[in-house]
Amino acid sequence: MKRKQHSKSNYKTKQGKGKHGKHGNKKAKVNDEAFDWGDSNNNIASDNEVSDDEGKKKAADSDEDDPYANETNDEKRVRLAKAYLGKLKDKFQDDDDDADPADRLASQLEKDVQESSGKLFKQVAHKLAEFEFDHESCKWLKGHKLPVTTVCVTEDGSVIYSSSKGGSILKWSIGEGSITKTKLVVPFDDEADDSHAASNKPQKKIPDHKKTILALAVSSDSKFLASGGVDKILRVWDVASNELLESFKGHRDAISSLAFRKKAHMLFSGSYDRTVKHWNLTEMGYVETLFGHQNEITAIDCLQKDRVVSVGRDASLRSLSLWFNGKKKPTYVVRAAHGGKWITSVAVLPRSDLVATGSSDGFVRLWKANLKERSLEPVASIPMDGFVNALAFPKTGSFLVAGIGKEHRCGRWEVNKSAANGVVLVALPQLFDE
């Protein structure tokens, strides 16, 4: 979809690099998958709120209108494959390129295979060097009263999840010209949460996680959302219905991090109890516990292989199913990357050289990972007040989402009273070729 035109550009082109000369201010093209701002006010996004009943009704109406509702998985794959091939053929035949359309089609299909297998690496960070971001590049989403602790986004960028120190989880659905907010609700009869057992009084308040949420993760197919935090309970949600599917106990301390294996329903949870637990959400069951850390685990990640990488406060980075066989020291270090402030969040656009880092110095910084020279090169900075407690890219690369707080997600060592608690979307120019 196309973004609405406003009186001011969301991007300012650096002098001497725009197509319009020294004072060029041509607007950057944003991917069709990117959100529409909806209005010219960059402070508050659409604050529409949808109840669970309304959501279920819309889903039911959608099923009735879907002509492919009864087709099998094989039929769906064939239909989508034919449609995709037809789209590519039409595109290549209409182009003025002198290359043979059949050769271009074969080349595109080869790239698709590499991308689906996780082997296609794209260099896109250099495209951001010609842009200067300002506050008009950002869109604030209000809803959290306390500092945002973590965010995650579906691969297609259509849904964002955020959570806070208050234990609330908000779902932000990005549509045509609007952003709809939905609150995920933990049922009072949740068997994993025994905090209501001691009271016979009727419960009136909509419950959240009872304590701070530290981690969110969504599966590659956007079917499951996982949440965990200080209450030590791992919860699994249905993305389509917003309902809680399962609650798991097992960790003996706070759940600090979550990661899905790509293109699978295998989930890994890292905890302050120094363990990583492996869960199979297809069977909704526990698989195994992985040991090795001598102190609290702070972050984990996983790609397509059945292999999880974890980082802990014991100053170690561990690959739990395969020993790291590279150098034991970093190949490159950027000293004082955020002016001496500690780095509070890091995100990488999947399978690319674009890296984003957050701190409390007033900026989110974008970097190019130069693999040949094994270095990090600064390419752009985005003004961002407060503690940038979380960062995430959708696979499309159409925007960057940041979770902002007045204070750090894990404590109150420093408080920025002038900052606001919320979620920020930063529109990015088109990074990938259509």
Structurally, what CATH architecture does the domain formed by 125-427 represent?
7 Propeller (2.130)
The answer to whether 28 and 429 have CB atoms below 8 angstroms apart is yes
The answer to whether 92 and 104 have CB atoms below 8 angstroms apart is yes
- The arithmetic mean of pLDDT across residues 198-204, rounded, is 48
Residue 425's CB is within 10 A of a number of other CB atoms, namely 26
What gap in Å lies between CA 20 and CA 11, rounded to an integer?
A: 14
Q: Which residues make Cβ contacts (< 8 Å) with residue 283, sequence separation at least 6? A: none
The answer to whether 135 and 42 have CB atoms below 8 angstroms apart is yes
pLDDT of residue 86: 75
pLDDT of residue 336: 82
The answer to whether 423 and 404 have CB atoms below 8 angstroms apart is yes
- The arithmetic mean of pLDDT across residues 226-244, rounded, is 94
Closest CA to 235 of 213, 203, 253: 213
Structure confidence by residue, pLDDT tens digits, 257-285: 999 998 889 999 999 988 989 999 999 99
| Residue 262, strand partner residues | none
Show the CA angle centred on residue 261, arms to residues 274 and 388, nearest 5°: 65
Domain definitions of the chain by residue range: 125-427
What's the token pair of residue 11?
Answer: 């991007």
What is residue 58's three-state secondary structure? helix
What's the token pair of residue 101?
Answer: 């359309």
Closest CA to 227 of 195, 185, 180: 185
Instruction: Provide the pLDDT confidence category of residue 426 given band limits of 50, 70 and 90.
Output: very high
What gap in Å lies between CA 198 and CA 186, rounded to an integer?
A: 18
Structure confidence by residue, pLDDT tens digits, 47-75: 445 455 555 555 555 555 667 777 787 87
pLDDT of residue 433: 67
Range in 209-218, 264-273, 276-285, 355-364 the model is least confident about: 209-218
What is residue 229's three-state secondary structure? strand
What is residue 12's three-state secondary structure? strand
What gap in Å lies between CA 415 and CA 396, rounded to an integer?
A: 34
Closest CA to 334 of 380, 373, 364, 375: 375
What gap in Å lies between CA 263 and CA 212, rounded to an integer?
A: 29
What gap in Å lies between CA 215 and CA 191, rounded to an integer?
A: 21
Structure confidence by residue, pLDDT tens digits, 304-346: 666 777 777 765 544 332 233 455 667 778 888 888 888 889 9
What's the token pair of residue 226?
Answer: 């996982």
Mean pLDDT (the chain, rounded): 76
Closest CA to 401 of 364, 367, 432: 364
The DSSP bridge pattern shows strands 11-13 and 131-133 to be antiparallel
The DSSP bridge pattern shows strands 345-348 and 317-319 to be unpaired
Closest CA to 148 of 431, 430, 425: 425
Show the CA angle centred on residue 186, arms to residues 182 and 189, nearest 5°: 145
pLDDT of residue 265: 92
Instruction: Provide the pLDDT confidence category of residue 297 given band limits of 50, 70 and 90.
Output: confident
pLDDT of residue 118: 57
pLDDT of residue 120: 65
- Range picked from 176-190, 205-219, 412-426 for highest mean pLDDT: 412-426
Show the CA angle centred on residue 240, arms to residues 235 and 242, nearest 5°: 45
| Residue 149 confidence (pLDDT) above 80 | yes
What does the chain come to in residues?
Answer: 434
The answer to whether 104 and 353 have CB atoms below 8 angstroms apart is no
Give me the amino acid identity at 433. Answer: D
pTM here is 0.73
Burial code (b: 16+ CB inside 10 Å, e: under 16) for 240-266 equals: eebebebbbebbeebbbbbbbbeebbb
Alpha helices in 207-348 (DSSP H): none
Largest Cα span, the chain: 76
Alpha helices in 23-157 (DSSP H): 52-65, 73-94, 101-116
The answer to whether 297 and 257 have CB atoms below 8 angstroms apart is yes
What gap in Å lies between CA 401 and CA 152, rounded to an integer?
A: 8
